[in-house]
Structure 1
Amino acid sequence: MGKELLEIPPDTPVYTGSVTDIGCHIKLLLYYNGSELIKKTDLTVEQLKDFKFHKGYTYWISIVGLNDTEKVQEIGKIFELHDLTVEDIVNVHERPKIEDFDDYLFVVVKELLFDRESLKIDFRHIPMVLKDNIFITFSEEWTGIFDFLLKRLEKSKSRLRQRKSDYLCFSAIDVVIDKYFKIFEEIGEVVEDMEDRVLKEPDETLVEQVHYLKRELIFVRRNIWPLREIINDIIKADYTFIYEPTKVYFRDAYDHTIQIIDTLESFRDILSGLLDVYLSSLSNKMNEIMKTLSIIGTIFIPLTFIAGNYGMNFRYMPELYWHYGYFAVLISYVVIASGLIIFFKKRKWF
């Protein structure tokens, strides 16, 4: 497979995802202005090709299914997308980035997913295209991440309805960032549970989980760090389709990405500390065991001495034929052991 990819020209779209049973269709075509909202669902590429776009509306088009690269190419031709853009749309492993073309802005972000049972962290590929009054989102499958935006658009007094497509683009990116916060709350709960377990019942399974989650967080960092650069570029660069009033909101999103990265780094530090705590717990547990064994051994040393002394095979030992000798030895065992236990407790050795 790798050799075949090397032989493919760089502007040839090759789908690299795993969702292959959806095809490619327009899940949503929505257009609106301050007073009107019209929504169409489940359109074909042919219907999209015949659709007439008007300047008086802002359009949001959600395209689901990337495995049918021919249809994705057709959509690219409808909106005059560069071949390299189409290639990046179907390449689900493309890192988050922003590219400025003559008549559109291309942005790639990643939706964060977390399975609490397996601790597996994954991402969904979300390419976006921003034109003057058109905003297009692509996805392998419909995840519902933008359902909240749809509810906001249904409200006539919503800020979304009053602004242009650049604000819709910001809102979509902001929803993705909010999903990061939600997932990080779940990860934080898992980390807190690990902290409790490492003190109460440390075991090898916990160590494996800590190592696994640390590796997953490195994977998260590689995908979140570029998002900060994307938003920073939007704020500082003079992109054609990002207007100054919307940059204020991107500054707020930038602060959120910084907060996410700080939280991520704190998780990594905590997990690294958990490994140290685990080793310390094992050492303390071993010390407790050794202390207990040492106390037991110390108690039995004088008892063993007495038993060994009277176990010698000398013929003439005064106490050997004493009628109460055996009982006297037993009593001495009890007295000596009790005395040592009292002494150890007074010294707070156990």
Structure 2
Amino acid sequence: MISKIRRLTKKVRKPNFPDFYHQPGTIPGTLIIDEDAEAPTIVLFDYNQTNFIRKQIATPEECLNYLDTESVSWVDVQGLGNQDILQRLGKVFELHPLVLEDVVNMGERPKIEDYEDQLLIIARMVVPKETTCGFYSEQVSFVLGKHYLLTVQEEPEHDCFDSVRMRIDKGKGIIRKNGADYLAYALLDAIIDGFFPVLELYGERIEELEEEVILKPTPQTLQQIYQIRQELLQLRRSIWPQRDAINALIRDSSDLISEEVRIYLRDCYDHTVQVMDMVETYRELASGLMDVYLSAVSNKMNEIMKLLTVVSAIFIPLTFVAGVYGMNFNPDKSPYNMPELNWYWGYPVCLALMVAIAVSLLILFWRRGWLANFSSIKHD
């Protein structure tokens, strides 16, 4: 059983560590660009309480006219497939080489770093897949300035910022009445809230697996359990350091985060803790499903062995009777050598005796309760 589990789990285990890493001896500030990365798309949002501008810009230098204004400028970069544009973007925003390295190189741990006039926030965003189970996971980097916010994402296809974009576009809520720090909070809150739809899907999958494990466990069920455990581990690695990062924003003093926004960040922190509790609960349920699976398989094996034992117990006396009359003793040599072989009704009497023995044993087993299926569970 253990060797079978190992063979099945080898099919579903995937590395949870990032593919982007520095080779030993790499110069600090080196940018690692994936060959398959899409070309960057830069979208500018500039707004205040009365005015709003949204446009796609071709070069990073076009952002210069908006960074020193009193309005809030959100520069959203999606895609990391052009190193030249990324380096020019770093010059426009006067990013430290290590900041640009953390922003561009994926696989960074969620964290907060204060660079006096800029605040670097690394977060991880998850989005549920549309057609299959699972989720997309990508790094989102924030560079917060006094009147601007730079965000960098891996891919343009998946993000959870549409609700924030709509609130800016329609002027809903208080987002256009506040500064760039409130915008950073709104985006972080959208990232944390994006975990809940993913966890809801896992809750439904675990409920389905619980029913399947009890009623009809299969090797495919075991593979799904291990797949869920691995994916929940990825979620845990994403949300756990994110909680510490948000806590650092609340606890540490920074001129870029106002006291009003810190109050909102407390609510974001509470949501993070709630996500962590749900992840831990589902991980425990997934681990418990493995024990239930092994118990169900063991019960099924016990039922098979019980059936075979009953069949064997019934045929043992029948085999004895058949073996006795299969002995080659000559009745002509002695009157004690199986005289019933010469009876007129000898053969029917022997068969009737064997049937009577089998029926008697079945009645005996039934009265003792040995024929009951103890492992069956009625499903409403």
| TM-score, normalised with respect to structure 1 | 0.91
Q: CA deviation at 1:134?
A: 0.8
Aligned counterpart, 1:349: 370
Measure, in 1, the Cα distance between the counterparts of 2:296 and 2:23. 50
Q: CA deviation at 1:39?
A: 1.4
Q: Matches of residues 31-110 of structure 1 in structure 2 within 5 Å?
A: 31-49=46-64, 51-53=65-67, 55-110=69-124
What's the C-alpha RMSD, in Å, of the aligned pairs? Answer: 2.3
SS at match of 1:234: helix
SS at match of 2:138: strand
Aligned counterpart, 1:293: 308
Q: CA deviation at 1:346?
A: 2.1
**1:207 partner amino acid:** L
Q: CA deviation at 1:209?
A: 2.9
Aligned counterpart, 1:208: 223
Q: CA deviation at 1:295?
A: 0.9
Measure, in 2, the Cα distance between the counterparts of 1:244 and 1:19. 42
Q: CA deviation at 1:114?
A: 4.8
Between 1:145-154 and 1:226-235, the stretch displaced more is 145-154
Aligned counterpart, 1:232: 247
Deviations 1:84-121 (A, max 9, x none): 10011110111111101111111011111455887655
Question: Could you say if the C-alpha distance between residues 233 and 154 of structure 1 is closer, same or farther in structure 2, counting changes exceeding 3 Å?
Answer: same
Measure, in 1, the Cα distance between the counterparts of 2:131 and 2:316. 52
Measure, in 2, the Cα distance between the counterparts of 1:177 and 1:304. 71
Measure, in 1, the Cα distance between the counterparts of 2:21 and 2:191. 35
Q: Matches of residues 41-190 of structure 1 in structure 2 within 5 Å?
A: 41-49=56-64, 51-53=65-67, 55-115=69-129, 121-142=135-156, 143-190=158-205
Q: CA deviation at 1:309?
A: 2.2
Aligned counterpart, 1:313: 328
Question: Could you say if the C-alpha distance between residues 220 and 47 of structure 1 is closer, same or farther in structure 2, counting changes exceeding 3 Å?
Answer: same
1:244 aligns with 2:259: yes
Q: How high is the sequence identity, in percent, across the aligned residues? A: 38
1:13 aligns with 2:31: yes
Measure, in 1, the Cα distance between the counterparts of 2:309 and 2:360. 16
SS at match of 2:170: coil
Question: Could you say if the C-alpha distance between residues 221 and 39 of structure 1 is closer, same or farther in structure 2, counting changes exceeding 3 Å?
Answer: same
SS at match of 1:249: helix
Q: CA deviation at 1:208?
A: 2.7
Measure, in 1, the Cα distance between the counterparts of 2:81 and 2:131. 29
Question: Could you say if the C-alpha distance between residues 25 and 295 of structure 1 is closer, same or farther in structure 2, counting changes exceeding 3 Å?
Answer: closer
Q: Are the equivalent residues in 2 in contact too, given 1:116–1:186 (CA < 8 A)?
A: no
Q: Which runs of 5+ in 2 are unaligned?
A: 1-18, 332-336, 372-380
Question: Could you say if the C-alpha distance between residues 116 and 205 of structure 1 is closer, same or farther in structure 2, counting changes exceeding 3 Å?
Answer: farther
Aligned counterpart, 2:238: 223
Measure, in 2, the Cα distance between the counterparts of 1:79 and 1:185. 39
SS at match of 2:194: helix
SS at match of 1:128: strand
**1:153 partner amino acid:** I
SS at match of 1:154: helix
Measure, in 2, the Cα distance between the counterparts of 1:105 and 1:155. 28
Q: Which runs of 5+ in 1 are unaligned?
A: none
Aligned counterpart, 2:211: 196
Measure, in 1, the Cα distance between the counterparts of 2:136 and 2:235. 8
| TM-score, normalised with respect to structure 2 | 0.84
The count of residues paired between Structure 1 and Structure 2 equals 346
**1:235 partner amino acid:** I
